[in-house]
């Protein structure tokens, strides 16, 4: 297993109801990203589109898992992204693709959260933002480690 650690302090501070409110919208957020991808590149293939959609939905669910259980969730989430990095290397793809997808996913997640946040105040939004950046940094590091391990 990769020794990449996630700073769970930010996740511990995010109210658990944020995950409960965001999780049911993971598929809708993934569909929104897929629509954006196709708008930007109408030639996006079905396989690529399906991969992107699945990745976004999984990413949002993983984020919710970490909000709900910061200590226990990371091992499973990091194992998933380690496999992603290895698969990228086997397929001859660049990890930069995944980093771009992480950024796009973050934008979609924020739009989704804004639509369902209700009484989420500025302080709570700040906590979610801190957790999201921590998540993205750790995921990118694990993907890179998986890629490097497979490429070696």
Between the CA atoms of 81, 83, 85 and 89, what dihedral angle is there, to the nearest 10 degrees? -170
Answer yes or no: pTM beyond 0.75.
yes
Structure-model confidence comparison of residues 35 and 138, the more confident one = 138
Least Cα distance to 135 among 113, 100, 87, 103 occurs for: 103
Q: How far is the first Cα of the chain from the last one, in angstroms, to the nearest whole number?
A: 16
pLDDT, one tens digit per residue, over 31-85 is 887 787 777 666 667 777 777 788 888 888 888 899 998 887 788 889 999 999 9
Spatial CB neighbours of 18, under 8 Å, sequence gap ≥ 6: 67, 113, 117, 120, 124, 128
d(CA 23, CA 116): 10
DSSP-derived secondary structure letter, 25: G
Determine the pLDDT at residue 151: 92
d(CA 142, CA 80): 9
pLDDT, one tens digit per residue, over 1-35 is 556 778 888 899 988 888 888 888 888 888 887 78
Domains and CATH numbers, the chain: 9-151 (1.10.490)
What are the backbone dihedrals phi and psi of residue 93, each rounded to the nearest 5 degrees, phi first?
-100, 160
Determine the pLDDT at residue 55: 80
Residue 103, CB-side half-sphere exposure with 13 Å CA sphere: 5
Least Cα distance to 84 among 31, 149, 137, 128 occurs for: 149
């Amino acid at each position: 297993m990769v020794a990449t650690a996630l700073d769970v302090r930010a996740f511990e501070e995010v109210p658990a109801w944020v995950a409960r409110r965001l999780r049911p919208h993971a598929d809708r957020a993934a569909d929104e990203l897929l629509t954006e991808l196709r708008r930007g590149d109408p030639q996006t293939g079905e396989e690529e589109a399906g991969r992107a959609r699945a990745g976004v939905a999984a990413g949002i669910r993983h984020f919710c898992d970490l909000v709900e259980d910061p200590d226990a969730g990371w091992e499973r989430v990091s194992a998933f992204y380690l496999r992603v990095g290895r698969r990228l290397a086997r397929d001859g793809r660049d990890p930069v693709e995944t980093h771009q997808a992480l950024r796009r996913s973050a934008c979609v997640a924020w739009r989704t959260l804004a639509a369902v946040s209700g009484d989420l105040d500025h302080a709570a939004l700040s906590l979610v933002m801190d957790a999201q950046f921590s998540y993205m940094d750790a995921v990118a590091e694990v993907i890179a480690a998986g890629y490097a391990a497979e490429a070696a």
